[in-house]
Structure 1
Amino acid sequence: MLLLNIVEDRPTPPQIYNYKVYLTALCISWGACLFGYDSSYIGTTIVLPSFQTAFGLSKLSTHELANVSANIVSTFQLGAFGGAALGFPLMEKYGRKIALIIATAVFIIGAIVQTVATHQLSYVYSGRFLVGLGVGSITSAAPVFLAEISPPAIRGRLVGLYEISYQVGAVVGFFINYGIKQHQNTKAAESWRIPTALQLVPAGMLMLGLVFVRETPRFLFKQARDAEATRNLCILRDLSPDHPYILDEIASIRTQISDVTVLHAKEETEGRVAWFKSYWRGIAKYCLAKGIRNRMAIGFMMMLFQNMVGTNAINYYSPTIFKSIGVSNTSLYTGIFGALKAAASVVFLGFLVDRLGRRLPLLVGGITCCICMFYIGAYIKVAHPASYASASLMSSSTQAGAKAATAAIFIFGMSFAASWNGLAWIICSEIYPLKIRGFCAAYTAMAQWLWQFVIARSTPYAAASLGYGLFFLFGSFCACAVVFAYFFIPEIKGLTLEQMDQVFGYVDFDANPLLQDRQLSNDEIEKQTNNTKQNDYMLSPSIIAPKIEK
C-alpha cells in the first residue's frame, strides 16, 4: 500500500483522484500504443522473406538492402516530424481533442495504404509517411492533454500512462512477429500483412475512446469558454463549482492566461495577417525570455538524450543488434526485451514516479544504462561473437560473456524504461507555461522525431561500420545524459503547472495576488532545484542564469 500513497503538497480533497480522471488519461495515453506498436513490428517485418520477395528486396545487394530498410523505417519519422509541427496549430485552433481525432484518422488511412500495398514500395512509403504524420500529431497533443487534466500529486503517474501504453504496443508488436515466425509460413504474404493490418486495432480503439472524452478545461478557459471549462473541470475533479479547490484552480489558470487572452484579442483589431506576424514574433520573444529559454533547451536536450542512448536503435533494428552479441533466436529475445521494458515502465510510472520524483531516476537510470552499454561494447571488442556460426562453437568463457551481454541489454532496457524513456515526456509536458504550451509540445515532439530520424537512418550503417564502437557511442551519450541531469534538471514533482514559472525563474509572483497563497518559499524552491553547490544556477541555451530570488 506504501507504493500507492499519494504525496501531496497541500491539503487536497480525495474526490479529485476519481475514476473519471484515470479513464480519461488512459484513453488519451492509448495514442502512444500506436507509436509503440509501429516502432517494434517494422524491424522484424521488413526482414521477412515474404516482404522482401513481394517488394523485390531479395534481389538487392547488402548495401542496397540496408539503404531501403533505412528508408522504410525513417519515412515514418519524417512524417512524424511534420505531424508534430501540424499538431500545434490544430490543438491551438480546434482543441486537444479535435487534434487527436484528426491525427488518428490520418493514421488509420496510412495503415490501410500499407496493408493493401502490392509489389510497389511507393505504397509502403506513402502509408508509412501518413502513419507517421498521425503519430507525430498525437505526440504533440496527447502529453499536453494529460498534463492539463492531471492533479499535481498524480501528474507523473497519469502522464506516465502514455509511456506505459507505448510499451504495451511495443510488446504486442514484438510477440506478434515472434508468433508469426513460429506458426506462419514466412514466405506467404499474410506473414507481413497481418502485423501491418493490426495497426488498425489500437487506432480504432483510440478513435472510439475519443468520442467520450471532454476537452481540457485549460484550453476552454483560454478560448473564453468559461462555462464549459468550469463544467468539465468539475466533472474531472468530482467537485462542485463553488468548492474552494475548484475556485483556487480556476484562479491559477486565469492568472496565467490573462496575457494570452489579450494576444488573441488583437486579431479582431489588427487583421488576420498582421495578427499572425505579431503572434509569431510574440512566440519567438517569449521563448527567448529568461526563465523560458532554459526550458526550451531542457526540452530539446531531453529528447536528444532519450534517443541517442541506444534504445530506439534496439527497437528498430533488434535482429541486427542481438545478432551482433551472438544471439540466434533474435525474435524471442527481442520480445523478452520489450516485455521487460513494459514491466519496468508499469512499476515505475504506475507506482513510483510521483514518490521518487524526476531527478533521481534520471541519474540512477543513466548511470546504469552507461555501464551496460560499455560492457556490451567491450564484450564484442574482445570476443567477436558474431563471427561464430553458432553458440556451441564458442568457448565457455565467450558463452558466459554472451549471456552477460544479453543480460546487460535487458538491464539497459529496464533501467531506461524506468528513467529517461517516460520522464522525458513527463517533464516536457509539465514545465512550459500555458501561453506557449501547445507550441512547446510541438517543438519537443519535433525534436523527438528529428533524433529518431537520425537513429533510423544511421543505425544500419553505424552497426556495419562501427561494430563494438556503436555501443561505446551509446554509452558516451548515457554519460552525457547523467551530467546534464545532474546540473540542469530541478526536482518538480508535485508542483502545479502554474508554479513551474517560479521554479524556472520567469514569473514575479509578488505581482500576481491570485497566486500569493500558492507561492513557494525559498526553502521549497531550494528543494525543487538541484541539491549541489553548482545547482544555484539554471540552464540557459547560451548562458548560465542565476536562480530566481524573491
Structure 2
Amino acid sequence: MFFLKKLLLSRHGNEHLPQEVLNFRLVYGIVVYGFMGAVRGLDEGLIGTTTTLPSFSRQFKLEDPSLDADAQANRLSNITSMVQLGSIAGSLVAFFLTDRIGRVWAVRELVVIWMIGIAIYLAAAANGSLGMVIAGRFIAGIGIGQTTVVGPTYLAEIAPGAFRGLAVSVFAGMVYFGTMLAYFAAWGSSLHISDDSQLQWILPNLLHVYFAALIALGSFWSIESPRWLVKVGKVQKAGQNLAKIRDLSEDHEFVTAEMKDISDQLEREAEATKSTGFLARLKEFVVPAPNRYRLMLSVMTQLLSQWSGASSITIYAPRYFAMIGTSGTEGRLLATAVLGAVKLSTAIICAIFLIDWIGRKRSMLGGITIQSIALLYVALFLQISGSADKAGVSQSPSTKRAATGAVAMIYLSGVGWAAGWNTMQYLMSAETYPLQLRALGSSVAMAVPEMLIGLTNPGTMFFFAAVSAIGLLWVWFFVPELKGMSLESVDAVFELPWYVIGRRGPQLVHDLEDHETIERIAEAKGDAVTIEHSEKVKGTH
C-alpha cells in the first residue's frame, strides 16, 4: 500500500494532492464496488464452462441426438444468452433505483434479485427443468446488469480525478478475476467430480452465492457517494462523507473546493433543465449537442467493444480451443482457465500503469491494435486449416505448430481487450456525463445488446477483426483524453465543437479552475474556438 501510494502521488500532475486522499476508506470503497465487476465475469465464465461439462450437457440435453444441429444450437444459445437479456432490463432499472435510493442501497437491492434468479437456476437440478434454468438466469441477469451501472458510477464519483481511471479499472479488472475463478472452478470440477453427478456443475455455480454474500456485507460499511447526496439535497451529509473519503477535515481547502465544484455543476445543470422530472432529464439527455456527443461515445464504445468478439470468446472459449485443436474437455477447460489468468493480469497492469499514466486514448489504441492483429491470425488459421473439432479432421505437424500460434493469439487478443476496450466500456459513461445524467447515461450504454455470433466458421473471426480495425479509427478521431480531469471540469471538453473534441479537446481545455492556462492557450493559438470557449468557461464562474 505504501509503495502504491508513493508511486501514484509521485506522478506528474498529482503533486498537489494531499497524501491523505489515498486512505483506507477510499481503498475500501474501491474494493467493495470494484468487486462487483467480478459478478459479470463470473457468470460469463461459469456458463461458458458449465455447458461443456458432461453432467450439465446430459441433464439439459444440449447434445440430444433427437434434435438437429440448429435445435441444439438454439437450446445452448437460450441458456447462455438469458443473463445478457436480463442485463439489458437490469441496466435500465438501475437508472431509476440508483438515483432514487442511492448507490449503497442499490447494491443491496441488486444482490437480492441476483440471488432469487440463481436459486431458481440451481433448483432446476432437482427436476431437469430447462424452463427453470432459462427463467432463473434471466432474473439473475436483472441483478447482474445493475452492477455495470452502480459499480462504475460510484467509483467515478468517489475517486479523485487523478485516480478515477485506476478506480474504474479495478471494476473492469475484477471482471476477469471472476472469469478466472469460474474457469478454474469448472476445470477442477471436471477433474474431481464424476460426470454422473449433478454436483459437477452445481458446485462451481455456488460461486454466485459466495460473491453475493461478500458484496452485500461489504455494502454495510460503505460510504454513500457525496455527489449523489448533493443531488438529493443532503449537502451537509455530503460534506461529511466527502471529508471521510478524503480523510480530511470538512473545512480543509481540498474538501471545500471539491464540494464547491460539485454544487456549482449541479446548479448549472438545474438551471439548464429547469426541472428534475424524468421527461426533462430525458430531453436534457438527447437535445443539447454536448450530451448527444456523450451518448454517441458511450453507445459506440459498447457496440464496438462487444462486436469485437470479447464476450463471445469469454463465453465460448472452450469451443474456440476445440476449433483450433485443443483436445479433451479437461485440456480445453485448462486452456480457458489460463486465458482468464492472462486477462486478469493484463487488466491489473493496465489499471496501475496505463489508464492514469499514458492515458485512456493511448491505452485503447494500443490494446485494440493488438486485438485486431491477434483475431486476424486466428481467422486466417481457421480459413486455411479448417476447424479441428469437425469429424475426420486431422492436423499435420506444420498445422499443429500453427494451431499453437492460434492458441497464443487467443491469449494475445485477451491482452489487447483488457488493455483497450475493457476498462473504457465502463469508464466512458461514468466519467463523461454530468451528475444529473450519470446514472441514465450509464444505464443506456450498458443496455446496448451484446452480439453473440455462432462459432461455426472463420468468417466470425474475420468479422471480429474488421470491427476492431474500425474501432481503432473511431477511437483515434472521436475519443477525448480525459486523464486527470475532475468530473466537473470534463463538461468543458464537451462544450467544444464536435469535430475538435476527440482530436484537440483536451489540449484546448485543461481545467475549469485554471482560467489563466486556457487564456494563454487561446492567445498562443489565436484560435477563435479556444478564445470563445475561454470566455464561456470564465462565465460559468
What is the CA distance between 1:57 and its match in structure 2?
A: 3.4
Q: SS state of the match for residue 250, structure 2?
A: coil
CA contact (8 A) 2:324 2:389 kept: no
- Which region of structure 1 is more displaced relative to structure 2, 478-487 or 424-433? 424-433
What is the CA distance between 1:289 and its match in structure 2?
A: 0.7
What is the CA distance between 1:495 and its match in structure 2?
A: 0.1
- Which region of structure 1 is more displaced relative to structure 2, 345-354 or 19-28? 345-354
CA contact (8 A) 2:180 2:340 kept: yes
Q: 1:18-417 maps to which residues of 2 (within 5 A)?
A: 18-59=23-64, 60-117=67-124, 118-259=127-268, 276=277, 279-328=278-327, 329-386=331-388, 393-417=394-418
User: CA 1:39–1:523 in 2, change beyond 3 Å: closer, same or farther?
Assistant: farther
Q: SS state of the match for residue 290, structure 2?
A: coil
CA contact (8 A) 1:6 1:154 kept: no
Q: Which amino acid aligns with 2:362?
A: L
CA deviation vs aligned residue, 1:328-350 (integer Å, no higher than 9, x gap): 12111111111100010111113
User: How many residues align structurally?
Assistant: 505
What is the CA distance between 1:263 and its match in structure 2?
A: 8.8
CA deviation vs aligned residue, 1:147-191 (integer Å, no higher than 9, x gap): 000011111111111012111100000111111111111221111
User: CA 1:21–1:133 in 2, change beyond 3 Å: closer, same or farther?
Assistant: same
- In 2, the alpha carbon distance for the partners of 1:159 and 1:292 equals 21
User: CA 1:387–1:497 in 2, change beyond 3 Å: closer, same or farther?
Assistant: closer
Q: Which segments of 5 or more consecutive residues in structure 2 lack a partner in the other structure?
A: 498-510, 523-527, 536-541
- Which region of structure 1 is more displaced relative to structure 2, 291-300 or 53-62? 53-62
User: CA 1:263–1:114 in 2, change beyond 3 Å: closer, same or farther?
Assistant: farther
CA contact (8 A) 2:374 2:413 kept: yes
- In 1, the alpha carbon distance for the partners of 2:73 and 2:392 equals 24
Q: Which segments of 5 or more consecutive residues in structure 1 lack a partner in the other structure?
A: 267-274, 508-514, 527-535, 538-545
**TM-score of the two chains, using structure 1 as the length reference:** 0.87
User: CA 1:548–1:335 in 2, change beyond 3 Å: closer, same or farther?
Assistant: farther
- In 1, the alpha carbon distance for the partners of 2:350 and 2:177 equals 14
CA contact (8 A) 1:112 1:197 kept: no
1:489 partnered with 2:479: yes
CA contact (8 A) 2:162 2:484 kept: yes
Q: Which amino acid aligns with 1:501?
A: D
User: CA 1:389–1:360 in 2, change beyond 3 Å: closer, same or farther?
Assistant: same
**TM-score of the two chains, using structure 2 as the length reference:** 0.88
Aligned to 2:460: 470
- In 2, the alpha carbon distance for the partners of 1:351 and 1:26 equals 18
CA deviation vs aligned residue, 1:94-136 (integer Å, no higher than 9, x gap): 1111111101111111111111113111111111011100011
What is the CA distance between 1:3 and its match in structure 2?
A: 5.6
Structure 1 segments of 4+ aligned residues over 3 angstroms from their partners:
1-7, 259-266, 387-391, 518-526, 546-550
CA contact (8 A) 1:290 1:506 kept: no
Q: Which amino acid aligns with 1:145?
A: Y
User: CA 1:480–1:167 in 2, change beyond 3 Å: closer, same or farther?
Assistant: same
CA deviation vs aligned residue, 1:451-507 (integer Å, no higher than 9, x gap): x2x32xxx23xx22xx11111100001101100010011111000001111112169
User: CA 1:263–1:352 in 2, change beyond 3 Å: closer, same or farther?
Assistant: closer
- Which region of structure 1 is more displaced relative to structure 2, 354-363 or 321-330? 321-330
Q: SS state of the match for residue 356, structure 1?
A: coil
- In 1, the alpha carbon distance for the partners of 2:496 and 2:384 equals 52
- In 2, the alpha carbon distance for the partners of 1:405 and 1:3 equals 37
Aligned to 2:506: none
RMSD: 2.6
- In 1, the alpha carbon distance for the partners of 2:492 and 2:271 equals 22
Aligned to 2:17: 12
Identity in percent:
28
User: Which structure exhibits the higher relative contact order, with contacts defined as CA atoms closer than 8 Å and separated by 6 or more residues?
Assistant: 1
- Which region of structure 1 is more displaced relative to structure 2, 487-496 or 188-197? 188-197
What is the CA distance between 1:286 and its match in structure 2?
A: 4.1
